[in-house]
Amino acid sequence: MLRVGLTGGIGSGKSTVARRLAEHGAVVIDADRIAREVVEPGTDGLAEIRQAFGDDVVSDGALDRARLAQRVFTDETARTTLNGIVHPRIGARTAELMAAASQDAIVVHDVPLLVENHLGPAYHLVLVVDAPEEERVHRVVRDRGMAEQDARARIRAQATEEARRAAADVWLDNGGSRDEVLAVVDALWADRLVRYEANIRLGRRAKYGTPRLVEPDPAWPAQAARLRERIAMAAGGLAGRIDHIGSTSVPGLPAKDVIDLQVTVASLADADAMGDGLAAAGFPKLPGVDHDNPKPYAPDVAQWRKRFHAAADPGRLANVHIRVEGSPGWRYALLLPDWLRANPAERDDYLATKRELAARYTADDDTANYSEAKEAWFDAAGPRAEEWARRTGWQAG
């Protein structure tokens, strides 16, 4: 099952996207609809609200939302009380609908406050629908009959564009025509969502192509941060720390468009214990990789044992290296990026090697050969990096 979080501010056109995904076959769970269902006439949710806030919040047997809003939006205690009544019921109903979906389903959870409540790590992918503020105001005034000042106040009260961009794996610009955004959604469904779901269900990584170098992407750190949060949730407390490592963590360094992350564990038994959770979160284990290549200063392969997972998402390739704290591989993975950041000449030397090898290995199945060929450079660089660490007093972490 692929879990997709869908969000966007008022007037962004999120419902248009949700309907299109449903047309393709997605199971859409609408958080707003559930919030209304759990307080419908005759429900225990409505009864508990009436008991907590009095008869004046109920009119003709139904919840008077406007009157209740006046009570809770100016009173934090009242708002906490209301949330304590409604949120558990919404959560239970959402879990029920999720459980009812088939194992090969693409479930789209439409959540207006996904960013505000920091819910992104619970999903395999977060889609954010957005449009320019003036267009959003125009839509809300036209379609909902809301006063312009009220529409602007609602927009100001919601998450900022900066916060939404930080949470978004996919940013859907809905400032143009309806056909334009629908075409983007159609391509997203076919090229990413369907393939991502199949990869998770079959326990396979997303397919890598040619080991091609690209220019540094300023979005890499934010993408790594989102992956780290998902991995931390999936690890269930077994991860000591999660670091963005590798070339994409070094500013200004061209690299393959693959995020490398290192998960620190106390033992490989802990790494194995989190394996199923990582696979379910979209990071299946690659059973054929259980160690790094030993370096000359530590030739015992047993010291370099690890576990290796990779992203199933065809739209965001990533490697997840799980290493025991204090092991040579763990230390080297942390040291090398810091050393390259601090030593531009070494970074340039590494880049020259990468470019030469990328030009040599151009076939779709050459990624492993490309990585193996870099080992000679790593072997030679290790002593130089360690000498720098001694000279500067560098410590892992």
Q: Does the annotation place 16 within a ligand binding site?
A: yes
What Cα–Cα distance (Å) separates residue 378 from each residue in 62, 318, 353?
A: 69, 21, 10
CB 44 within 8 A of CB 92: no
Residues 6+ apart with CB under 8 A from 284: 199, 200, 203, 204, 205, 278, 309, 310, 312
In whole angstroms, give the CA distance from residue 14 to residue 37: 20
Q: Give me the residues paired with residue 109 across strands.
A: 5, 29
CA atoms 298, 302, 303, 309: torsion sign = positive
In whole angstroms, give the CA distance from residue 150 to residue 166: 26
Q: Does the annotation place 11 within a ligand binding site?
A: yes
Residues in the chain: 397
CB 127 within 8 A of CB 173: no
CB 324 within 8 A of CB 375: no
Q: Does the annotation place 74 within a ligand binding site?
A: no
Residue of 258, 255, 232 lying closest to 243 (CA atoms): 232
**3-class SS of residue 182:** helix
In whole angstroms, give the CA distance from residue 91 to residue 94: 5
In whole angstroms, give the CA distance from residue 21 to residue 15: 10
Hey, what amino acid is at 382?
G
Helices (H), 105-159: 133-144, 148-157
In whole angstroms, give the CA distance from residue 160 to residue 177: 23
Q: Does the annotation place 12 within a ligand binding site?
A: yes
Q: For 68, phi and psi rounded to 5 degrees?
A: -65, -40
In whole angstroms, give the CA distance from residue 145 to residue 211: 54
Indicate the annotated binding residues for ATP: 11-16
Going by the annotation, the residues of the binding site are 11-16
